[in-house]
Homo-oligomer: A and B are copies of this chain.
């Protein structure tokens, strides 16, 4: 990945800024400002913003700009209800189509998740979580389903980033129940039990949502 171009650089850089809590929901991301701060022209920045909008990570008002999507309890319900079903499908499909290599990859992930060398930074956790969810999406063997997973994953992460405890306080991640839930999904995939894999994934996502739920009450 040494030869990434400015568009790709801008894309990851902007994503990094968002994950770094540099913006709050509703904030606009100005092309000019980003271009200056990244030392680029507006062109690649604009392209990157377009991708982020297409992927659902940002929203856009015509002739106004891109902004961090506004959050509401109702929106969260829609997002997570859909994510539950979409990723449930992906996990079930992965249980049927994942190769042995794919499953090794997932097992390596949950091993690192449960027994990390050293403490996991927030960025590490994001990386692992992303690899897990998008990995399974990819192993579903359906490129369109993978695409939807990617979209709804990022969209729901707006909530996770801003309301999940782990991203606000310093908690020992490996002690949370998330790694265990991940492990059980992978086990079901390894056993080629598609129905169980789907249901465990749905449960995992619903569990994440319910953890956020109380913190979202005030949004209604």
Residues of A within 8 A of B (CB): 5, 46-47, 50-51, 54-56, 62-63, 78-79, 81-82, 85-86, 89, 141-145, 147-148, 152, 155
Contacts and interface: CB of A to CB of B under 8 A. Distances in A.
A85 B78 contact: no
A93 to B, nearest CB: 9
Contact of A143 (B5, B78, B86, B143): B78
Contact of A78 (B46, B78, B145): B145
A4 B50 CA distance: 16
A139 to B, nearest CB: 14
A202 B141 CA distance: 20
A51 to B, nearest CB: 5
A78 B81 CA distance: 22
B47 A78 contact: no
A54 B85 CA distance: 22
B47 A79 contact: no
23 contacts: A5-B62, A47-B50, A50-B54, A51-B54, A54-B54, A54-B55, A56-B143, A56-B144, A56-B147, A78-B141, A78-B142, A78-B144, A79-B144, A81-B142, A82-B89, A82-B142, A82-B144, A82-B145, A85-B85, A85-B89, A86-B148, A144-B152, A144-B155
